[in-house]
């Protein structure tokens, strides 16, 4: 078949299977503004900013227009510009614009478009934004209805990708507001704190709870020993914010930046990711041997844990009790520094970790395992606030004796990574051939649900991997109905896994694919590939944990039931 082409602004634009004219334009270097469109969500066509004009003078929304061969549209005619201008003025007339102090300032699309399309003065005198209070009930995110422009991206994210539906359009006309039902607070809904709503919110209507001042206070306190761990995905989520390519991990610069900020000790959460695999795979093999109910579900993702507790409480006993890597390193840090005045900070790609760190179960020997969770995005702001030229920093290594890690820990950051690490551990063979076989068994890739089998000795294991909670729910439905059987299921709440976490700087699909490349590059850079090769393990089990491994490295949430 001949190549399909359409004409946008007089430019010939070839296309294949793009879902709308908006995508065709963007793929051909023409940026049509839009506030309610996201490539991963259904099309809403509500904001009317992406209107384009055809050769007959008719206007329609580019997001809702299917590209046809020979189609002609123009994106900046007089009519289009006027319409855009009015639409922006109308949106601004019901948006509380406190741009200087807004969390989203500099990243707000309404602000960007107002500037780009030269909307220099408000047209409507009285601003009619809804006079409704903030919802600060969630430890992860804050909802500010006064800034909501009703684009519905969060609503679609929460229901289509996460199948949670914590918020929706409620009421109608000028009283319409995106909110939980019955005037509830977010904490009273099925919200798991994944932060994906905040990642798609074009304005400051849903934002991540930032705790940067707490961090500065501790960094400037001479009596506190600030110990920081950073998760696998953090190293692949920052580069683009400093004008560097996203497909290179920046681990060494990250460590240097933390030291320059005044952090006393730096550890890599990869170490405890190795530990998580040791504990989780032992638990899994024990379950297989004892004939316990399978599948066993992974436990590293706090959004997933909350989703099980709220939506599938009956499955909680099948969720591994192995602590998350953050929890485990938190426990090791407390053992390492015993009675010292240590402030334990975790840099995470995740907003739900802020909730996890506060759970009562994450307290051992009367001390919180983690004092503060900062997201990747907050770390970026800290580094910028400190005036550090990140791009030109030299590399450095995390501290001893908890600085070692293997490639198995690194790959936790992407969907399928935990499973791949478990398989590496179970097969216990670090030869390049075996590693290649594992990588090609079906565990890699960004599909929402992956299912495959792995043979280890006389054991054939059926494994599934899901990312996004709606995918997890689909999988659970098949398991509960008996349609499919699995021994082991990995779930990450965020689309694509932690690299696309709610705490990462928001990214397009293309950017996320670059982050995946960077994760596997970081794995390749590791000499050691399988968790049991980690040289720190002996020290950890023999010197630090001294027989308390289960007590300190496992978390029994109430619904896990009696052990």
Q: How far is CA 508 from CA 55, 402, 453, 515, 526, in A?
A: 31, 34, 31, 11, 28
Catalytic residue among 13, 102, 441, 498: 498
CA torsion, points 479, 483, 488, 490, in degrees to nearest 10? -60
Which is it for the CA torsion 381, 385, 390, 395, positive or negative?
negative
Q: How far apart are CA 447 and CA 165, in angstroms?
A: 22
Is there binding between residue 368 and other proteins (CB under 8 A)? no
361 catalytic, yes or no? yes
Is there binding between residue 324 and other proteins (CB under 8 A)? no
Closest CA to 280 of 323, 329, 251, 312: 323
Which residue from 68, 116, 123, 171 is in contact with other proteins, where contact means CB under 8 A? 171
At its nearest, how many Å lie between other proteins and the CB of residue 296? 21
Closest CB to other proteins among residues 184, 210:
184
Q: How far apart are CA 401 and CA 267, in angstroms?
A: 9
Q: How far apart are CA 319 and CA 303, in angstroms?
A: 13
Which residue from 179, 236, 255, 263 is in contact with other proteins, where contact means CB under 8 A? 179
At its nearest, how many Å lie between other proteins and the CB of residue 424? 33
Catalytic residue among 320, 344, 378, 494: 320
Closest CB to other proteins among residues 307, 512:
307
Closest CA to 104 of 135, 143, 138, 73: 143
At its nearest, how many Å lie between other proteins and the CB of residue 36? 17
Which residue from 168, 264, 399, 429 is in contact with other proteins, where contact means CB under 8 A? 168
Give the number of residues in contact with other proteins, rule: CB under 8 A. 26
Closest CA to 469 of 493, 448, 489: 493
Among the listed ranges 54-62, 156-164, 488-496, 538-546, the one in contact with other proteins (CB under 8 A) is: 156-164
SS3 state of residue 549:
helix
Is there binding between residue 92 and other proteins (CB under 8 A)? no
Is there binding between residue 182 and other proteins (CB under 8 A)? yes
Closest CB to other proteins among residues 297, 412:
297
Q: How far apart are CA 378 and CA 436, in angstroms?
A: 36
Q: What angle do CA 207, 513, 491 make, to 5 degrees?
A: 70
Closest CA to 347 of 253, 237, 231: 231
Is there binding between residue 159 and other proteins (CB under 8 A)? yes
Among the listed ranges 165-173, 233-241, 383-391, 451-459, the one in contact with other proteins (CB under 8 A) is: 165-173
Is there binding between residue 130 and other proteins (CB under 8 A)? no
Catalytic residue among 23, 283, 420, 514: 283
Q: Quick check: 269 and 231 in contact, CB under 8 A? A: yes
Closest CB to other proteins among residues 475, 518:
475
Site residues (CB under 8 A) for other proteins, limited to 424-483:
470, 473-474, 477
At its nearest, how many Å lie between other proteins and the CB of residue 477? 6
353 catalytic, yes or no? yes
137 catalytic, yes or no? no
Q: Quick check: 204 and 144 in contact, CB under 8 A? A: yes
**For the chain, what is the largest distance between any 2 Cα atoms, rounded to a whole number of angstroms?**
79
Residue with tokens 């590496």: 424
Q: How far is CA 365 from CA 36, 53, 60, 133, 331, in A?
A: 49, 67, 63, 39, 10
At its nearest, how many Å lie between other proteins and the CB of residue 258? 38
Closest CB to other proteins among residues 181, 558:
181
Q: How far apart are CA 147 and CA 110, in angstroms?
A: 10
283 catalytic, yes or no? yes
At its nearest, how many Å lie between other proteins and the CB of residue 180? 5
Q: How far apart are CA 491 and CA 473, in angstroms?
A: 10
SS3 state of residue 364:
strand
At its nearest, how many Å lie between other proteins and the CB of residue 168? 4
At its nearest, how many Å lie between other proteins and the CB of residue 481? 10
477 catalytic, yes or no? no
Among the listed ranges 65-73, 87-95, 194-202, 307-315, the one in contact with other proteins (CB under 8 A) is: 307-315
425 catalytic, yes or no? no
Which residue from 61, 167, 275, 438 is in contact with other proteins, where contact means CB under 8 A? 167
List, in sequence order, the alpha helices (H) in 136-229: 153-156, 196-200, 212-219
Which residue from 28, 74, 137, 163 is in contact with other proteins, where contact means CB under 8 A? 163
Closest CB to other proteins among residues 149, 266:
149
Among the listed ranges 17-25, 127-135, 172-180, 450-458, the one in contact with other proteins (CB under 8 A) is: 172-180
Catalytic residue among 36, 158, 197, 300: 300
Q: How far is CA 58 from CA 49, 52, 61, in A?
A: 15, 8, 10
Q: Quick check: 300 and 277 in contact, CB under 8 A? A: no
Is there binding between residue 169 and other proteins (CB under 8 A)? yes
Sequence-distant (≥ 6) Cβ neighbours of residue 217 within 8 angstroms: none
Catalytic residue among 109, 253, 353, 529: 353
Among the listed ranges 55-63, 304-312, 346-354, 458-466, the one in contact with other proteins (CB under 8 A) is: 304-312
- Ramachandran quadrant class, 416 (left: phi over 0; alpha: psi -120 to 50; beta: rest): left
Is there binding between residue 494 and other proteins (CB under 8 A)? no
Which residue from 67, 180, 330, 501 is in contact with other proteins, where contact means CB under 8 A? 180
Strands (E), 217-371: 225-230, 265-268, 296-297, 342-348, 363-364, 367-368
Is there binding between residue 140 and other proteins (CB under 8 A)? no
Which residue from 94, 142, 146, 189 is in contact with other proteins, where contact means CB under 8 A? 189
Closest CB to other proteins among residues 184, 359:
184
Q: Which residues bind other proteins (CB under 8 A)?
A: 159, 163-172, 179-182, 184, 189-190, 307, 310-311, 313, 470, 473-474, 477
Hey, which residues are catalytic here?
A: 280, 283, 300, 320, 353, 356, 361, 498
């Amino acid at each position: 078949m001949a190549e399909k082409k359409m004409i946008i602004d007089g430019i010939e634009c070839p296309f294949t299977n793009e879902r709308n004219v908006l995508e065709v334009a963007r793929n051909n270097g023409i940026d049509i503004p839009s506030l309610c469109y996201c490539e991963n969500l259904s099309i809403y066509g509500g904001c009317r900013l992406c209107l384009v004009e055809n050769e007959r003078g008719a206007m329609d929304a580019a997001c809702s227009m299917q590209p046809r061969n020979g189609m002609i549209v123009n994106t900046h005619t007089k009519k289009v510009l006027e319409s855009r201008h009015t639409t922006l003025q109308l949106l601004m007339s019901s948006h509380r614009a406190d741009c200087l102090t807004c969390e989203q300032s500099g990243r707000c699309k309404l602000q960007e478009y107002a500037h780009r399309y030269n909307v220099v003065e408000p047209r409507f005198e009285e601003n009619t934004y809804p006079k409704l209070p903030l919802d600060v009930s969630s430890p992860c995110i804050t909802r500010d209805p006064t800034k909501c422009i009703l684009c519905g991206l969060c609503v679609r994210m929460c229901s289509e990708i996460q199948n949670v539906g914590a918020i929706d359009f409620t009421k109608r006309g000028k009283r319409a507001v995106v909110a939980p039902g019955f005037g509830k607070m977010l904490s009273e809904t099925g919200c798991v704190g994944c932060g994906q709503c905040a990642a798609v919110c074009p304005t400051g209507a849903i934002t991540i709870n930032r705790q940067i001042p707490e961090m500065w206070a501790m960094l400037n306190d001479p009596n506190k020993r600030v110990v920081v761990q950073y998760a696998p995905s953090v190293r692949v989520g920052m580069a683009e914010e400093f004008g560097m390519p996203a497909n290179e991990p920046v681990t060494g610069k990250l460590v240097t930046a933390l030291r320059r900020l005044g952090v006393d000790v730096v550890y890599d959460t990869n170490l405890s990711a190795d530990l998580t695999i040791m504990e989780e795979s032992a638990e899994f093999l024990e379950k297989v041997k004892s004939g316990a109910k399978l599948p066993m579900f992974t436990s590293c993702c706090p959004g997933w844990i909350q989703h099980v507790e709220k939506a599938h409480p009956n499955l909680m006993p099948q969720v591994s009790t192995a602590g998350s890597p953050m929890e485990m390193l938190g426990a090791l840090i407390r053992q390492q520094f015993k009675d010292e005045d240590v402030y334990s900070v975790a840099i995470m790609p995740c907003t739900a970790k802020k909730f996890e760190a506060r759970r009562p179960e994450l307290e051992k020997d009367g001390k919180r395992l983690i004092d503060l969770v900062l997201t990747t995005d907050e770390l970026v702001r800290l580094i910028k606030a400190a005036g550090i030229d990140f791009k030109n920093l030299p590399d450095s290594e995390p501290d001893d004796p908890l600085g070692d890690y293997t490639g198995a820990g690194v790959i936790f950051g992407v969907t399928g990574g935990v499973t791949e690490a478990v398989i590496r551990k179970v097969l216990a063979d670090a030869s390049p051939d075996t590693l290649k076989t594992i990588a090609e068994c079906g565990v890699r890739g960004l599909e929402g649900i992956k299912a495959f089998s792995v043979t280890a000795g006389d054991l054939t294991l059926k494994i599934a991997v899901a990312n996004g909670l709606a995918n997890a729910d689909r999988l659970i439905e098949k398991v509960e109905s008996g349609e499919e059987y699995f021994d082991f299921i990995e779930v990450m709440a965020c689309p694509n896994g932690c690299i696309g976490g709610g705490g990462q700087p928001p990214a397009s699909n293309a950017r996320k694919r670059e982050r995946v490349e960077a994760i596997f590059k970081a794995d390749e850079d590791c000499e050691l590939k399988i968790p049991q090769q980690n040289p720190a393990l002996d020290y950890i089990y023999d010197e630090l944990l001294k027989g308390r491994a289960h007590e300190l490295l496992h978390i029994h949430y109430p619904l896990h039931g009696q052990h």
